[in-house]
Structure 1
Amino acid sequence: MSELQKGIEYMQNHQFEEAAQSFNNYIEENPEDPVGFINFANLLVHLQEYDSAERFYNKALELEEKLPAAHYGLGNMYYEQEQYDQATKQFQDAMKQGLDDEDVYFMLGMSLLNQEMPKLALPYLQRASELSPEDIDIQFQYGLTLAYGNMIDEAYEQMNVVLSLDEEHSDAYYNKGVCLLYSEKPEEALVQFEKALAIQEEHLLAGNAKKQVEQLLQERDG
């Protein structure tokens, strides 16, 4: 087993000091191989040592100009620090250099969403949802993005997709309720808020929405 493989195994087992030593050994033995620098940088991001991680990613990119994994790693690093504009650029670079999986589409979509650009985020989250139909988080975030983009009917249906994967997803019920309120169906919305609260009693958003809808119905019905 190479020092690189050892380092990855140590990292997976949360043996971070041993992982760092193995990655360091690999870099000393293979100073021209960018893969060692990328893996060490990934470890540093996990440890929230962002400045050092950035240096290692950039060193990898000095050794080899086209390295989608380095751009993806930098994107994650910036995303963790809420530097979403820089994260966006790195994920875009990773895609331009050939990275084509649900993770990069999802992270690019989330970076744009965090910059309040739901319409730009939408195609990337849609693609992530197509590539990973069983991933509950991806499916849920795609549904939220549809809602943020005022595609209310589509968002409602997407929350049903989430519930087909996890019937105890309280946030999906809550968001179905919000969609129904937008569609001026308060009685049906109330049912969804109650379902969310049955699963998660302390769901503050659903609790507040339930009170508001009950008050609305009371005033309307006199």
Structure 2
Amino acid sequence: MSDIDQGIQYMKEGKLEEAAQYFTETIEKNPNDPVHYINFGNLLLHMKDYDRALGFYKKAIELDDQAATAYYGLGNVYFEQDDFNHAKENFQKAINLGLEEADVYFMLGMTFLYDEQFKLSLPYLQRASELNPDDVDVKFQYGLALAQTQQLDQAKETFNKVLHIEEEHSDAHYNLGVIALFDEDVDKALEHFDKALEIQPDHLLAGNGKKQIEKMLEENE
């Protein structure tokens, strides 16, 4: 196992000090290899040491301005600090340089979503879902973006796909309940809100939705 592989293995095992020591040694041995700086940046990002992570990613880019994963790392640092413009710029750069992975499309989509640019988030979340069709989080966020842009039929289909992967997904049930209300299917909405509360009894939105329906039904008696 190489130093790089061992360092990443330490990270996976949660042995962060050992990982830091390994990456430090590999940089000392190979100071002109951008991969080591990217790996150390990933470790620092995981530790929420954003300033230092930024420095390591930028050093990697100094050594190789085509290092797509370094731009992806930069994007994550900026995203974590709510600097969405710089996050978008770096995620897009990573994609432009050929990083064809679900994670980078997902993060670019999430950046647009957090910045309330819902329509712009859609193609990236859709692509992430295509690249990783069994990822519940990706599919759920894509469903949210569809719902935010009033594409309710597609959102409904997507949330149902989420439930096909993870039957006990309370937020998918809640959102299907909201869509059912838009469709004026009160019984179906109540069914989904009840299911969300069965899975997660403290689901405030589902609880509020159920109360609103019950109040409405009482008033109509």
Specify the TM-score bucket, using the shorter chain as the normaliser: over 0.9
1:132 equivalent to 2:132? Answer yes
Alignment partner, residue 188 of structure 2: 188
Alignment partner, residue 30 of structure 1: 30
Q: Deviations over 1:169-199 (max 9, x none)?
A: 1111110000111222223211111111122
Q: How much does 1:42 deviate? A: 0.6
Alignment partner, residue 141 of structure 1: 141
Superposition TM-score, scaled by structure 2 size: 0.97
Q: Deviations over 1:143-171 (max 9, x none)?
A: 11100111111111111101111111111
Q: How much does 1:82 deviate? A: 2.0
Q: Whole-Å Cα distance in 1 between the matches of residues 3 and 103 of structure 2?
A: 27
Alignment partner, residue 118 of structure 1: 118
Q: How much does 1:114 deviate? A: 0.3
Q: Secondary structure at the match of 1:201?
A: coil
Q: Secondary structure at the match of 2:27?
A: helix
Q: Whole-Å Cα distance in 2 between the matches of residues 53 and 90 of structure 1?
A: 14
Q: How much does 1:48 deviate? A: 1.1
Q: Deviations over 1:95-139 (max 9, x none)?
A: 010111111111100000000011000011111111111111111
Q: Equivalent residues in 2 for 1:138-177 (5 A)?
A: 138-177=138-177
Q: Whole-Å Cα distance in 2 between the matches of residues 4 and 158 of structure 1?
A: 39
Structure 1 outlier segments of 4+, above 6 Å: none
Name stretches of at least 5 consecutive residues in structure 1 with no aligned partner.
none
Letter in 2 for 1:151: Q
Q: Whole-Å Cα distance in 1 between the matches of residues 6 and 187 of structure 2?
A: 58
Q: Whole-Å Cα distance in 2 between the matches of residues 101 and 4 of structure 1?
A: 21
Alignment partner, residue 75 of structure 1: 75
Q: Deviations over 1:15-53 (max 9, x none)?
A: 111111111111111111101111011111111111111
Q: Equivalent residues in 2 for 1:57-68 (5 A)?
A: 57-68=57-68
Q: Whole-Å Cα distance in 2 between the matches of residues 143 and 26 of structure 1?
A: 43
Letter in 1 for 2:156: Y
Q: Equivalent residues in 2 for 1:50-61 (5 A)?
A: 50-61=50-61
Q: Equivalent residues in 2 for 1:6-17 (5 A)?
A: 6-17=6-17
Q: Whole-Å Cα distance in 2 between the matches of residues 21 and 200 of structure 1?
A: 42
Q: How much does 1:6 deviate? A: 2.0
Superposition TM-score, scaled by structure 1 size: 0.96
Q: Secondary structure at the match of 1:205?
A: helix
Letter in 1 for 2:155: A
Alignment partner, residue 95 of structure 1: 95
Q: Whole-Å Cα distance in 1 between the matches of residues 84 and 34 of structure 2?
A: 25
Q: Whole-Å Cα distance in 2 between the matches of residues 24 and 191 of structure 1?
A: 55
